Copies of this chain bind each other. A is one copy, B any other.
Amino acid sequence: MPRIVVDVMLKPEILDPQGKAIVGALPRLGFTAFSAVRQGKRFELTVDGEVTDEILAQAREAAETMLSNPVIEDVVNVEVVADQP
Protein backbone atom coordinates (compact mmCIF):
# COMPACT_ATOMS: atom_id res chain seq x y z
CA MET A 1 0.00 0.00 0.00
CA PRO A 2 1.23 3.52 -0.69
CA ARG A 3 2.43 5.67 2.11
CA ILE A 4 2.74 9.35 2.66
CA VAL A 5 5.88 10.45 4.45
CA VAL A 6 5.75 13.53 6.64
CA ASP A 7 8.99 14.99 7.94
CA VAL A 8 8.96 17.35 10.88
CA MET A 9 11.96 19.20 12.25
CA LEU A 10 12.40 21.62 15.14
CA LYS A 11 12.54 25.15 13.80
CA PRO A 12 16.16 26.10 13.18
CA GLU A 13 16.19 28.76 15.89
CA ILE A 14 14.91 26.35 18.55
CA LEU A 15 17.39 24.49 20.70
CA ASP A 16 17.59 20.79 19.87
CA PRO A 17 19.02 19.04 22.94
CA GLN A 18 18.99 15.65 21.25
CA GLY A 19 20.88 16.82 18.22
CA LYS A 20 23.35 18.52 20.53
CA ALA A 21 23.99 15.31 22.47
CA ILE A 22 24.44 13.33 19.25
CA VAL A 23 26.87 15.76 17.66
CA GLY A 24 28.87 15.60 20.88
CA ALA A 25 28.98 11.81 20.80
CA LEU A 26 29.78 11.22 17.11
CA PRO A 27 33.46 12.23 17.24
CA ARG A 28 34.06 9.81 20.10
CA LEU A 29 33.18 7.05 17.65
CA GLY A 30 35.45 8.50 15.00
CA PHE A 31 32.71 10.26 13.03
CA THR A 32 34.32 13.64 12.70
CA ALA A 33 32.76 14.94 9.50
CA PHE A 34 29.65 16.51 10.96
CA SER A 35 29.48 19.98 12.44
CA ALA A 36 25.86 19.90 13.56
CA VAL A 37 23.07 17.37 14.01
CA ARG A 38 19.37 17.97 14.37
CA GLN A 39 16.89 15.29 15.19
CA GLY A 40 13.35 15.39 13.91
CA LYS A 41 10.46 13.06 13.28
CA ARG A 42 9.43 11.05 10.29
CA PHE A 43 5.88 9.80 10.02
CA GLU A 44 4.69 7.22 7.57
CA LEU A 45 0.95 7.33 6.93
CA THR A 46 -0.43 4.29 5.17
CA VAL A 47 -3.22 4.84 2.67
CA ASP A 48 -5.53 2.01 1.64
CA GLY A 49 -5.92 2.45 -2.07
CA GLU A 50 -4.82 5.31 -4.19
CA VAL A 51 -3.39 8.58 -2.93
CA THR A 52 -5.76 11.17 -4.28
CA ASP A 53 -5.17 14.90 -4.13
CA GLU A 54 -7.78 15.07 -1.45
CA ILE A 55 -5.92 12.53 0.67
CA LEU A 56 -2.63 14.32 0.14
CA ALA A 57 -4.30 17.52 1.27
CA GLN A 58 -5.53 15.72 4.38
CA ALA A 59 -1.99 14.56 5.09
CA ARG A 60 -0.70 18.09 4.72
CA GLU A 61 -3.31 19.38 7.08
CA ALA A 62 -2.70 16.62 9.60
CA ALA A 63 1.00 17.40 9.36
CA GLU A 64 0.42 21.04 10.21
CA THR A 65 -2.17 20.57 12.92
CA MET A 66 -1.40 17.33 14.68
CA LEU A 67 1.87 15.78 13.63
CA SER A 68 3.79 18.96 14.30
CA ASN A 69 3.64 21.63 16.96
CA PRO A 70 3.74 24.85 14.93
CA VAL A 71 5.10 26.76 17.91
CA ILE A 72 8.41 24.93 17.76
CA GLU A 73 8.38 22.72 14.67
CA ASP A 74 8.25 23.00 10.88
CA VAL A 75 6.84 20.45 8.48
CA VAL A 76 9.76 20.16 6.08
CA ASN A 77 8.41 17.56 3.71
CA VAL A 78 5.20 15.76 2.73
CA GLU A 79 5.56 13.25 -0.06
CA VAL A 80 4.09 10.06 -1.43
CA VAL A 81 6.32 7.04 -1.54
CA ALA A 82 5.59 4.08 -3.66
CA ASP A 83 4.61 0.81 -2.18
CA GLN A 84 7.46 -1.26 -0.91
CA PRO A 85 7.56 -5.00 -0.79
Contacts and interface: CB of A to CB of B under 8 A. Distances in A.
Interface of A: 1, 4, 7-9, 19, 22, 25-26, 29, 31-48, 54-55, 58-59, 61-62, 65-67
B61 A47 contact: no
A58 B38 contact: no
A35 B48 contact: yes
Contact of A44 (B1, B37, B44, B59): B37
Copies of the polypeptide in the assembly: 2
Contacts of A38: 43-44, 46
B43 A7 contact: no
List the 5 closest pairs (A to B, CB-CB), nearest first: A36-B46, A42-B42, A33-B55, A40-B42, A34-B45
